[in-house]
Amino acid sequence: MFKNLIPKIFYDRLQDGLEFFVDGLGFDILYQDAEMAVIARDGAKAYIVQSPECAANDRPELGIDTDDVDEVFKEMSARSPHLMHPNSSTVSLKPWGAREFAMLDKTTVCVNFRQWPAEG
């Protein structure tokens, strides 16, 4: 029954969120007004919301599962090398079994791209 969990990500300025997700990560804008944008790419979707009060208290770390983390890394490292997370700037196997890397924006919103081992 559940189809998707869609987060709200708060920014002091809406433009900061759009720069990271649209310009940096290649999301499309599905809707935008003065204080909110709905963004999507493939099956991932989020609400980018301008709210200085909420942004001051909430800098999220998000995860996006993928079937091909190496291909995503290749695209992201070429597209936005300045957004690679300094502590996770290459694809590596984590102790919990996923291979992942991360992107970090100037407001410290973090997106982890991860690939879990094939179930067999």
Average pLDDT, the chain: 94
Residue 1 located in a structural domain: no
Per residue in 27-75, pLDDT tens? Answer: 999 999 999 999 999 989 999 999 999 999 989 999 999 999 999 999 9
Domain residues for the domain of 33 are 8-115
Residue 65 located in a structural domain: yes
Nearest-angstrom CA–CA distance, 86 and 4: 30
Residue 72 located in a structural domain: yes
Residue 120 located in a structural domain: no
* DSSP run (H or E) holding 112: strand 110-115
**Counted domains in the chain:** 1
Looking up residue 72, the CATH number of its domain turns out to be: 3.10.180.10
Residue 3 located in a structural domain: no
Report yes or no: 100 and 86 within 8 Å, Cβ to Cβ: no
Residues 6 or more apart in contact with residue 59 via CB below 8 angstroms = 107, 108, 109, 110
SS3 97: coil
